Amino acid sequence: MPEVKEGRYYWFMAVYVTATALLALHAGWTGKALWASPLIWIFLVLAYHFDVKLPTVGRMNADHVIAFPAIILLENPFLVGILAASAALGDRLYQRGLKGLRPVTFFDSANAAFTITLSGWLLLRLTAGLGPDSLLWFPCLLLVMALFYTFNIMGYIVSRMAAGGRLTPGFFWKAQLQGWLWVTLSLPFVMLVVMEIQARNPTLVVLGGIPLLVIVWALHLNGGLEEKNSALIQANRRQEFLQQLTLTSTGSLERDTFLNDLLSGLREFVPWDRDLLLVHTALGSEGPALHSLQDLPPDPHGVKDRLTSLLEGAALRKPLCTSGETVQPMLEPEAKHQLVIALATSEMAFGILVVERASGPPFPEEDIRFLEMAFAQIAGHVQDEILKKQLLATNKKLMRQTEFLSQILQISNLLRVHLDIQGILEKVAQGIREGIGFQAVIVSLYREEEGYFERMAQAGDDERWEEIRAVRPPASDVLALLKDKYRVGSCYLIRHSESVDIPYAVLPNNPRPAKEMDDWDPMDFLLVPLVDKDERLLGIISVDEPVDGKVPSMETLRALEILANQTVHALESAQIHAHIKRQAVIDGLTGLHNHGYFQETLAIRARELADGHHPYAVLMMDLDGFKSVNDTYGHLAGDAMLRSVADALAASIRREDVAARYGGEEFSVFLPHRTADQARLVAERIRTAVDQIRAMVPGFARPIRVTLSVGLAAFPEHGGNHHEIMEKADLALYQAKSEGKNRVWQAG
């Protein structure tokens, strides 16, 4: 029901009540069967509560099905009208509470009382004197029921007029036709109940009313099922539409065809009279663009400004829906309902839609949610589109930086492999030249104790490198350049305008005189210090002759800083790696390889030699009487003796041989490419060298000496793999001990 001024409703209610009272005075209060009034009231409440939806007819209530038999039963139309009015109010009070009772509610209740009272009075007048079996009952009842719906429609029209709404002949005749069809469908059942009331047969009245109630209830349930089914179908169609938007919205807001299809699709689900869609400049167009399924409004610029101001405000975080006198039409001068929805996300806003209706009910909540979901879905894709375009727009600017980072990553990966210092510096110099874009790069290490910088690696000056590396810039001259006034980030840029004398600087290969302020001058100088986490200067990277001929940008300087940091980390890692590697394979006391390294090397080399059918031998050795040395002279003396034995052993073998402290006072030697006879000569040489050791211990007059027992096994004479060779060598050592020590014993 349209919203109207409450005063008009009160005026119309006064007229209705007066007319009903006059009819009541004429009809009188002397009705019959007043005991049935409560039951009739209950039936009327149910009739108003459970309305019926009929195909092609629409939604109707069944108050006439109860009212007319009640008029015949009570013979008091005014009482039935009052019961109907109170039943309508009671149902509305049950459904919506006290807050739901508005002037329009009382007007509808008064309208029900007036039409039922007037129709009932006519029915009693027309059927006065007719017997229960008279055939005139049927046409009289049909006529009165038809007039009843006509009076109802007229009351609705009066309400519309009071609200200032527009009326069309088509609306009147459609409503009239719906009422007559409903009367025609329900008349046979109403007639059956009326006839039984006339016959004063309560049992048959109940039995006759049951089919009517069943049919009304069945129609009500069927209408509910149809509504649910229609709602489900509509929800599925809306879901399909939203899914289709997902597939078509990306990259499409710049196409008029998509925008028109979008508006047409939305209008199919949410009817409106006029629409206008504004697409903001965020998409890269020259200005906000307007799109509509109809003609643009007479003042498009004014509407555009108004929509833009709405879009920039915070009021459209949720859809803005207005109806009645609060509407400020933008498109339709006689608009009664308006809905404004922003095409926006929480991060950005780039569109707004206005739809208006001149008639009909306000936009329902489910339609508003659907439009909101559709626009939210589009907005998400448009935001992705905008972000992609922004990324593409800045791609050229970031491409260089991306190349820098890629080169940095590549150099970093190479630095993990080239763990020797020289290899690190060479890779850094080459990476800067190829990846950052300089024609000449020199990397120098700071020799703090010697007081100079040593040029270690270069890129771009191969022909002059020997001459360049021979120059060792004094540390004081280089450190004088590392001043704050030259500092840019972590780099130091000395422009030619500073007139700084750098006599040892390497002159460019292809000098290009500067013409613009940002051109690189042959006398410009750029240093990137290598500083560790303790702010200790390790070295300097000097770059010259940018490929583009321009002073390096901040992105270039930042890339050089990152590479400098990577270089420092690589240098530190190289030192740590070398130290850890030495600790991992070297015995800390003797300086020989340890047991683990010996086993690993033996397993690998022995397999290689065996595959190539080359001989090898293993010596297992143990110091004789070493325990007495520790017990007599102490462990320090024992450690000194072990170091002397290790030195003698190392001096007796080749570089390719592998000597190890196997454990305690045990030693082992792997002799690749040695036969058993050749290995025996080496073993004797080692045994003799150990036997000649004379170690002096403070506090003792006599020197310390030890002897050595050696077990020997060779491939392929004594075994088919290194496991067997080791086992045979160990057994041979045991045999040497058993035979008197200080001897070499070969496996049998």
Tell me the domain boundaries of the chain. 6-228, 250-393, 399-581, 586-746
What CA–CA distance (Å, rounded) separates 474 from 463?
24
pTM above 0.75, yes or no: no
Kind plus residue range of the DSSP H or E element containing 244: helix 202-248
pLDDT, average across residues 14-30: 43
Amino acid 169: pLDDT: 65
**pLDDT tens digits, residue range 31-50?**
455 566 777 777 777 777 77
Output 639 or 314, whichever has higher pLDDT: 639
Kind plus residue range of the DSSP H or E element containing 343: strand 337-344
Question: Would you place residue 214 in the very low, low, confident or very high pLDDT band (cuts 50, 70, 90)?
Answer: low
**pLDDT tens digits, residue range 622-637?**
999 888 888 888 888 8
The CATH number of the structural domain formed by 399-581 is 3.30.450.40
Dihedral sign computed on CA atoms, order 645, 648, 651, 653: negative
What CA–CA distance (Å, rounded) separates 489 from 37?
96
pLDDT, average across residues 349-371: 83
Amino acid 259: pLDDT: 76
Average pLDDT of the chain, as a whole number:
77
351: helix, coil or strand?
strand
Q: Is the pLDDT of residue 614 over 90?
A: yes
Q: Is the pLDDT of residue 477 over 60?
A: yes
**pLDDT tens digits, residue range 574-584?**
776 666 666 67
Please, what is the angle between helix 103-126 and helix 137-163, to 10°?
160
Q: Is the pLDDT of residue 513 over 50?
A: yes
**pLDDT tens digits, residue range 150-207?**
777 777 677 666 655 556 666 667 666 766 776 776 777 677 677 767 666 655 555 5
Cβ pair 619, 668 in contact under 8 A: yes
| Highest-confidence segment of 72-76, 102-106, 410-414, 686-690 | 686-690
Amino acid 606: pLDDT: 94
Portion of the chain with pLDDT greater than 70, in percent:
72
**pLDDT tens digits, residue range 76-105?**
888 888 888 888 877 777 777 776 667 767
The residues near 640 (Cβ < 8 Å, ≥ 6 apart) are 695, 697
Cβ pair 116, 63 in contact under 8 A: yes
Q: Is the pLDDT of residue 667 over 80?
A: yes
What CA–CA distance (Å, rounded) separates 589 from 581?
16
pLDDT, average across residues 530-543: 89
Question: Would you place residue 226 in the very low, low, confident or very high pLDDT band (cuts 50, 70, 90)?
Answer: low
Place of tokens 């001068």: 333
Q: How many CA atoms lie within 13 A of 312 on its CB side?
A: 10
Report DSSP letters for 127-166, one per residue. Answer: TTT--TT-TTHHHHHHHHHHHHHHHHHHHHHHHHHHHT--
Cβ pair 444, 454 in contact under 8 A: yes
Output 735 or 179, whichever has higher pLDDT: 735
Amino acid 299: pLDDT: 79
CATH 3.40.50.300 applies to domain 250-393: no
**pLDDT tens digits, residue range 493-503?**
988 777 776 65
What CA–CA distance (Å, rounded) separates 68 from 193?
10
What CA–CA distance (Å, rounded) separates 352 from 140?
59
Report DSSP letters for 534-559, one per residue. Answer: T--EEEEEEEEEETTSBPPPHHHHHH
Output 123 or 390, whichever has higher pLDDT: 123
Among 325-339, 369-383, 593-607, 704-718, the range scoring the smallest mean pLDDT is 369-383
Q: Is the pLDDT of residue 746 over 70?
A: yes
Q: Is the pLDDT of residue 541 over 80?
A: yes
pLDDT, average across residues 559-569: 83
Amino acid 20: pLDDT: 44
Output 362 or 163, whichever has higher pLDDT: 362
**In one letter, which amino acid is 355?**
V
Portion of the chain with pLDDT greater than 90, in percent:
18
Dihedral in degrees, nearest 10, Cα atoms 311, 315, 318, 319:
-70
Do the first three CATH levels of 250-393 and 399-581 match, i.e. the same topology? Answer: yes
Kind plus residue range of the DSSP H or E element containing 261: helix 256-269
Question: Would you place residue 7 in the very low, low, confident or very high pLDDT band (cuts 50, 70, 90)?
Answer: very low
Output 28 or 633, whichever has higher pLDDT: 633
- Of the candidates 149, 223, 234, the one whose C-alpha atom is nearest the C-alpha of residue 183 is 149
Question: Would you place residue 26 in the very low, low, confident or very high pLDDT band (cuts 50, 70, 90)?
Answer: very low
Amino acid 25: pLDDT: 43
Amino acid 1: pLDDT: 36
6-228: which CATH number, 3.40.630.10, 1.10.1760.20, 3.30.429.10, 3.40.228.10?
1.10.1760.20
Class of domain 586-746: alpha beta
Please provide residue 441's backbone torsions phi and psi, each rounded to the nearest 5 degrees.
Answer: -140, 135
Amino acid 416: pLDDT: 60
Amino acid 9: pLDDT: 40
What CA–CA distance (Å, rounded) separates 230 from 428?
72
Q: Is the pLDDT of residue 561 over 90?
A: no
